[in-house]
Homo-oligomer: A and B are copies of this chain.
Amino acid sequence: MRTDIIADTGTDTATSTHTGVPTINDVARVAGVGKTSVSRYLNGETDALSPALKGRIEAAIAALSYRPNQMARGLKRGRTRLIGILLADLQNPYSVAVTQGIEAACRQAGLMPMLCNTANEIDLQSRYLDLLRTYRAEGLIVNPVGLPDSALLQIGAGGMPLVLLDRTVDGVDCDSVGLDNERAARQMADHLVDNGFETLFFVSESFASVSSRREREAAFVAQAQLRGATPHTLVIDLADPASIAAVLETVGAATVPTRAGKRAAAARANPAARAPAPAARAPAWPRVALLAANGQTMLPIAIALGMRPLPGLGLATFDDPEWLRLAESGITSLRQPTFDIGVNAVQLLNARIDGLDAPARRRTFDAELIVRKSTLAKPARALTGVLPDNPDASLVPSSSS
């Protein structure tokens, strides 16, 4: 048995003057076995290998720190174990959270996820789609940009397994995972009405082309009406500070017990009079609530509001981003099981990769309603699971004083 690693006279076909990465031939030569045996070892067919050979191969692999070439493997077997993950917005904590689940599931399934940030640009999405075809990705998990994309339509029609994430796309009939938006929106509407809110604002970025936003809006409005409340839908442009201000003004005008809102409302109702606000009134139970279509939408609103509850205004949002836990803003939230969503996306996809031929499946998940102070009818009433609020923003948080 030969032990020299840099040997130049291969017992095999090759000429092997070595400069580069070790191949299976090198391992075979060093171990003094045929490459077939090495291949078998690599593929776990250990039962058909004598312990002696197995040991020699193991040693050789370690000595060379050999790693099988996945490209060559993929070429031969026709499966690269690569899957593409296209995310419309990696800035959104939701995307990263789902990614965590995807990566964990991929690890278990022996898949390699290729994360691609399409940054809400349709041409980036098609570019990555093309690139992934080129690398023979075995499947795709796509959180699509909210615009029609011929490349995506083609993929949906053509052979490559495809799972849509959070959003569906008209004309693409494939597996999908996401929140049960209808149920979550109804749940939230019920919670708000149950707690005495009568005027309900739904705030969202443009939702014409984003299915999840559409579903949330429709269900929230419907349920609110059903329960006798008055819903309004506000479209916000997060890139435009004026738009954010406008939304706050609109909501503020409807908020009765708030100074600014009251002034604004009064001024609006009767611009000439400038009636001073009546000093005392019945206890100011909140009656106006605002529900944001996702965490990214709520953030600028909460910031503009100083990250703390305002008397007379209930705040709620889809998603439960990290900063909500830091802020004692009393913002009620609908937490998505992002990790599970990611895991299930991979499961659905992997089944297709393994050859499953079935009609499109959709897996939806329930949101967890996390009630916080601003949407409770009576702040004084004790309620389990309610987080404490910070009445005055002194330097030292109330919890430590």
Taken residue by residue from 242 to 254, chain A's Cβ proximity to chain B (1 for < 8 Å, 0 otherwise) reads as: 1011101101100
Question: Are A135 and B112 also in contact (CB < 8 A) when A127-B107, A255-B395, A393-B306 are?
Answer: yes
Which of these binds chain B: A47-55, A72-80, A170-178, A271-279? A72-80
Are B70's CB and A134's CB within 8 A?
A: yes
Q: Distance in Å from the Cβ of A83 to the closest Cβ of chain B?
A: 12
Question: Are A313 and B71 also in contact (CB < 8 A) when A91-B93, A135-B112, A306-B308 are?
Answer: no
Taken residue by residue from 369 to 396, chain A's Cβ proximity to chain B (1 for < 8 Å, 0 otherwise) reads as: 0000000000000000000001001111
A195 interface hit (Cβ, 8 Å) = no
For A399, list chain B residues within 8 Å (CB).
241-242, 245
Q: Distance in Å from the Cβ of A194 to the closest Cβ of chain B?
A: 24
Chain A to chain B: the 8 pairs with minimum beta-carbon distance, closest first: A252-B395, A306-B393, A115-B115, A260-B394, A245-B400, A260-B395, A300-B326, A303-B326
Are B90's CB and A246's CB within 8 A?
A: no
Which of these binds chain B: A4-12, A95-103, A229-237, A345-353? A95-103
Give A99 to B99 CA distance when docked, in angstroms: 15
For A260, list chain B residues within 8 Å (CB).
394-396, 401
Question: Are A67 and B130 also in contact (CB < 8 A) when A21-B136, A395-B248, A396-B260 are?
Answer: yes
Taken residue by residue from 95 to 138, chain A's Cβ proximity to chain B (1 for < 8 Å, 0 otherwise) reads as: 01001100100010000101111010000000100110111100
Contact of A112 among B96, B131, B299, B326 (CB under 8 A): B131
A264 interface hit (Cβ, 8 Å) = yes
Contact of A70 among B103, B136, B159 (CB under 8 A): B136
